[in-house]
Amino acid sequence: MKNLIIATRGSVLALWQSEHIASLLNARGVQAQLKSMKTKGDKILDTPLAKIGGKGLFTKELEESMLRGEAHIAVHSLKDVPVEFPQGLVLAAICAREDARDAMISEKYAEFGELPHGAKVGTTSLRRKMQLLSMRPDLEIISLRGNVQTRLRKLKDGEFDAIILAMAGINRLNLRAEVKHVTPFEISQMIPAMGQGALGIEAVDEPQILCAIEFLKDERAIIETTVERDFVRVLEGGCQVPIGINARLEGENIHIGAIVGLPDGSESIRQSIVAQKSQYQSVGTELARVFIEKGATIHFIKDPATTTVVASPCEVSYSGKNLASICHHP
């Protein structure tokens, strides 16, 4: 296929991502052009995502454009992509991953521990809110919507002591040059969202289109994000649920950390496991089932108001057995 139309959101980060993929396609002799549009998530900026529909808010209009035949592919931040797709569309490629971590950005404070008591921290993510408050219950977490430039302006205007952004976006837009302090969290401190740092290419399910973008696939990213997306799919979580999941491929092992809890950080289930690379297509599902057995869907996802128990952290190894049977608590 010699020509492809890329559906994209109009934000600076979305355009960077789409232009990046377009340049890769052009280098392969495929002429790619962008079709920019606003999604519902771009238009409604005064309400937290969890209250207006979650991740699909950033993809629906792009998907409708492809289904109408107006575009062939769409480039997404994979963390914003739901685990189910409309008929006729597929997740056709997952590209090489950027830094998956979250980071604190501040004009005043170089380290998270330096934030004063009651500091105002901006984020709309329930996942980030949960983990921030579990570390620092004194913080005031304030909803922060809008594109990256809007968020940075509010920080510089003094509305926040710090804001939380993904390192992938910080690196792609070279934001270190625009703020005084960028401090990444360790994965163990703040477990990222599924797919964070990776680009996902959604496409019309036609052989000639899929063939044209086949070269964009990255094996490492596919392995890691398959684990993560399977975990969230089984738990049926989106923006409405505080879920963190990160898989890191190191040699023949996959190191996985996951957390599910309440938005206020008061209660959670958190586990870390090590699986073999060859088991990447099953371990995410198995880990999710362990979380279900520990009450995740009852206490945190289906009816969080009824939760009464917090599971202890769990360090396990996975080798094809039922995770619950080999889980031990410190």
What is the torsional sign of CA 184, 188, 193, 195? Answer: positive
Amino acid symbol at 168: A
* Residue 8 clears pLDDT 50, i.e. is over it: yes
Distance CA 7, CA 33 (A): 9
Q: Are 276 and 319 in contact (CB under 8 A)?
A: yes
pLDDT in tens, 147-193: 888 899 999 999 999 999 999 999 999 999 999 999 999 999 999 99
Domain 3-96+197-217, CATH = 3.40.190.10
The arithmetic mean of pLDDT across residues 231-256, rounded, is 88
DSSP bridge pairs for 37: 9
The radius of gyration computed from the CA coordinates of the chain, to the nearest angstrom, equals 20
Q: Which of 161, 282, 202 is nearest to 21 (CA)?
A: 202
pLDDT in tens, 24-76: 999 999 999 999 987 665 555 555 555 545 556 678 889 999 999 999 999 99
What's residue 179's pLDDT? 94
CATH superfamily placement of domain 224-326: Porphobilinogen deaminase, C-terminal domain (3.30.160.40)
Boundaries of every domain in the chain: 3-96+197-217, 102-184, 224-326
Q: Which of 237, 60, 57 is nearest to 145 (CA)?
A: 57
224-326 matches 102-184 in CATH topology: no
pLDDT in tens, 104-157: 999 999 999 999 999 999 998 999 999 999 999 999 999 987 888 889 999 999
Task: Tell me how far the alpha carbon of residue 282 is from its chain's centroid.
Answer: 20
Q: Which of 143, 127, 85, 100 is nearest to 301 (CA)?
A: 127
Task: Tell me how far the alpha carbon of residue 218 is from its chain's centroid.
Answer: 17
Distance CA 314, CA 330 (A): 7
Average pLDDT score, the chain:
86
pLDDT in tens, 267-313: 999 999 999 999 999 999 999 999 998 888 766 765 433 333 333 33
pLDDT band at 81, cuts 50/70/90?
A: confident
What strands, in cross-sheet order, belong to the sheet with 102-106?
140-142, 120-122, 162-166, 102-106, 181-184
For the question of residue 303 being annotated catalytic, the response is no
Active-site position among 42, 80, 161, 230: 80
* Helical packing angle, 12-27 and 148-156, nearest 10°: 140
Amino acid symbol at 313: P
Distance CA 255, CA 276 (A): 9
Q: Distances from the Cα of 240 to the Cαs of 98, 140, 213, 258, 292, in angstroms?
A: 25, 20, 32, 17, 17
Topology given in CATH for the domain delimited by 102-184: D-Maltodextrin-Binding Protein; domain 2 (3.40.190)
